[in-house]
Structures are given as structure tokens and as C-alpha cells.
């Protein structure tokens, strides 16, 4: 009887630890940053295609510890209009300091399935393999 209670308590503790670890993984670090960006509400004329994240170099000390989230959108807006949209909406994330003078994101035109940052960082997007015309597709990069 005593061994059965101990086994049940150990199982409950293990389950609680698993839930805590899963919560930490989903809400902190790179995944937390990706979830934060994914939750941005975009205007109706901007379609969210996919989002992906990774860790890369910031261009500073070369330690490859910079969180990067890349959102792909489809819209008929130009890059200037997209930049203006993000500025006007005053979006912010946990890593962006309001009124810092740095943009919340960096927008580049999508030309194929691979995103190439200015800082030795690339992400491949299989979701774009069937796209033939990239005219209205944009990479939006968020950095933390």
C-alpha cells in the first residue's frame, strides 16, 4: 500500500514537472518570442502565410545568440506601405523599446523560398515551394 502511494506521488510530480517544462519552453526564449510575434493582429489586407524562428548572429560579438523570427506575409502593399503600417500601429514586443529609433521589424521582398538576413542568417520555407509569383510576398524579420 505504501509503495503504491509513493508511485502515484512520483508519477504526479513527474507530470507536473513535464507541464512546467512545456510551459517554459512555449512561453520563454525563442518559442516565446515566436508566439509573441505570431499573436500580432494584422490588418485584413495583409495575409499571414507562415512564421519560423531561429538563432543567429547579431553582427556584434559573433556568439550567435540573437533570436530571430521571420513572418511571411502576402499583400499588395509596397515595402514602404508595410513599414508605414507597422509604424502607425505602434506595435511593440518584449524586445523592442518604444521610441528607441530602431524599427520593430525589417521588411524585405520575398524572391524565393529562402530568407537571407543581412547578418549571416538564413531560414528555408517549404511552405513557399509551390509559389510561382513572389510579387506580393514579403519577409518580415523581428530580432531580439
Output the pLDDT for position 28.
59
Quickly state the pLDDT bin for 86 (edges 50, 70, 90): confident
Q: Which residue has the higher pLDDT, 135 or 89?
A: 135
The segment with the largest mean pLDDT, out of 44-58, 97-111, 127-141, is 127-141
| 3-class DSSP assignment, residue 29 | helix
Quickly state the pLDDT bin for 98 (edges 50, 70, 90): low
| 3-class DSSP assignment, residue 14 | helix
Mean pLDDT across 36-63: 79
Beta-sheet pairing, 106-109 with 114-116: unpaired
Quickly state the pLDDT bin for 70 (edges 50, 70, 90): very high
Q: What is the pLDDT of residues 124-138, one digit of tens each?
A: 899 899 999 999 999
Assessment of whether the complete model's pTM goes beyond 0.75? no
pLDDT exceeds 80 at position 91: no
> Three-class SS string for 116-130?
ECCCCCEEECHHHCC
Q: Which residue has the higher pLDDT, 109 or 57?
A: 109
Mean pLDDT across 85-103: 63
Domain boundaries, the chain: 29-143
| Contact criterion met (CB below 8 Å) for 72 and 139 | yes
Amino acid at each position: 500500500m505504501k509503495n503504491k502511494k509513493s508511485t502515484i506521488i512520483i508519477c504526479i510530480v513527474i507530470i507536473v514537472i513535464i507541464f512546467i517544462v512545456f510551459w517554459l519552453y512555449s512561453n520563454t526564449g525563442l518559442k516565446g518570442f515566436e508566439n509573441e510575434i505570431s499573436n500580432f493582429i494584422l490588418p485584413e489586407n495583409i495575409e499571414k502565410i507562415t512564421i519560423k524562428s531561429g538563432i543567429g548572429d547579431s553582427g556584434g560579438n559573433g556568439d550567435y545568440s540573437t533570436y530571430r523570427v521571420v513572418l511571411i506575409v502576402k499583400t499588395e502593399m509596397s515595402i514602404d506601405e508595410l513599414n508605414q503600417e507597422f509604424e502607425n500601429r505602434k506595435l511593440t514586443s518584449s524586445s523592442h523599446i518604444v521610441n528607441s529609433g530602431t524599427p520593430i521589424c525589417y521588411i524585405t521582398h520575398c524572391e524565393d523560398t529562402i530568407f537571407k538576413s543581412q547578418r549571416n542568417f538564413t531560414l528555408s520555407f517549404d511552405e513557399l515551394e509551390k509559389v510561382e509569383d513572389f510579387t506580393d510576398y514579403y519577409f518580415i524579420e523581428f530580432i531580439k
